[in-house]
Amino acid sequence: MISQKKQAGSRTTVIEKIVPVLLFIGASISILTTVGILFTLLYETFLFFSEVSFKEFFFSTELRPLSPVEPSFSILPLLTGTLMTSLVAMLVAVPIGLTTAIYLSEYASRSARKILKPLVEVLAGIPTIVYGFFAFTFVTPLLREVIPGLGATNALSPGIVMGIMIIPIVASLSEDAMNSVPNAMREGALAIGATKLEVTGRVVIPAAISGIIASFVLGISRAIGETMIVTIASGSTKNFTFDVTQSMQTMTAYIVEVTSGDAASGTTAYYSLYAVAFTLFIFTLMMNMVARYITKKFREVY
C-alpha cells in the first residue's frame, strides 16, 4: 500500500508540474497571434508609407489606387463610408436594442423572456453574407420606392441592415446589465410611490449605465468591422461624401477589393490594404479601450 501511494503521489506531482506549462502555452497562443498580426500590419504599412506620404494618405480626398496615370491614395473616402454606415447602423440598433432590453428585463414575464430572448439572439447567428443579399435585393428596392434619388448601391441600406444585425449585441448586453441591478432597488423605488416606468428610467437604467454604454460601443466596433454587408450593398465607389443615398466604400470593402486580385502583389496599391487594415485595427482597438474604460469608470458594485 505504501509503494502504491508513493507511485500515485509521483504521478500526481508530474501532472501538477505539466498542467501549468500546458495552460501557459495555451494562454500564450492568443498573445503571440496578436503580436504576429500587429507585426505584419506594421511592416507592410511601413513599406506603404515609404512610397506614399502621410499628408496624401490622411488629408487628400482622392482615392484612385489602380489608376495607370496618376494613382492617389487617401483614407478619407473610406473613413467617411465606414463612419456613415456605422452611424446609420447605430441609429437603428441603439433605440431598438435598448427598448428590447428594457422590455425583457423589466416588463416581460419569465415565460415570455424564455421565448423572446432566444428569438432575438437568432439574428446574431445569421451569416453576414445573407444580410448583404437581403440589403441589396430587398431593403434597397424598398427604400428606392420611398427615396427616388437613392442609388442601386448606397450607404443607407447596408447601414440599416447592419443595425438589425447588431440589435442582439445591444439588447443582450444591456439586458444583462439591467438584470444585475438588485431587486431591492426596484422595490425601494416602488415602495415610495414610483411607477414602473419611473423605476426603469430613474433607477434601473442609471444603475446599469456602464453596461449599457459598453454595449453601444461594442456595437459600433462590430459595425466598423463588418465586411460582407457593405461589400455587397454599399458599392465600390470611392466617394468622399456624407450623403448616405450615394454609393460609398468602407475600409473593409476596400480590403476585399484589393485582395480579390485587382492589385498585383508588391505594388503600392497592394501595400495600401495593409495601411487601411492598420487604421481599422486602431479604430477597433480604440472602441474596445473606450468600452473597457466606461465599464470600469461607471461600474456599480452591489
Question: Tell me, what's the pLDDT at 148?
Answer: 82
pLDDT the model gives residue 98: 92
How confident is the model over 194-249, as pLDDT tens digits?
A: 888 888 888 888 888 888 888 888 888 888 888 888 888 888 888 888 888 888 88
Does 138 or 125 have the greater pLDDT score? 138
The pLDDT score that the predictor gives to residue 1 is 59
Phi first, then psi: what are they for 72, rounded to 5°?
-135, 140
pLDDT band at 2 (very low <50, low <70, confident <90, very high): low
C-alpha span between 227 and 129 (Å, rounded)? 9
Give pLDDT, residue 94. Answer: 92
First to last CA, the chain: 52
Q: How confident is the model at residue 10 (pLDDT cuts 50, 70, 90)?
A: low
265 or 76, which is more confident?
Answer: 76
Domain boundaries, the chain: 2-35, 76-298
Given a cut of 60, is residue 9 above it in pLDDT?
Answer: no
pLDDT for the residue numbered 87: 92
In the chain, pLDDT over 90 holds for what percent of residues? 14
> For domain 76-298, which CATH number applies: 3.30.300.30, 1.10.3720.10, 3.30.450.20, 3.60.15.10?
1.10.3720.10
The pLDDT of residue 277 is above 60: yes
d(CA 85, CA 131): 14
pLDDT of residue 181: 85
Mean pLDDT, the chain, integer: 84
Mean pLDDT of the region 74-85: 90
Q: Are 229 and 135 in contact (CB under 8 A)?
A: yes
d(CA 276, CA 113): 42
Q: In the prediction, which pLDDT does 300 show? A: 62
- Inter-CA distances, 48 with 10, 45, 59, 69, Å: 57, 5, 16, 19
- The per-residue pLDDT for 117 is 84
Q: Cell numbers of 227, please?
A: 465586411
Half-sphere exposure of 227 (CA within 13 A, CB side): 9
Q: What is the pLDDT of residues 153-208, one digit of tens each?
A: 888 999 999 999 999 989 988 988 888 888 888 888 888 888 888 888 888 888 88
pLDDT band at 8 (very low <50, low <70, confident <90, very high): low
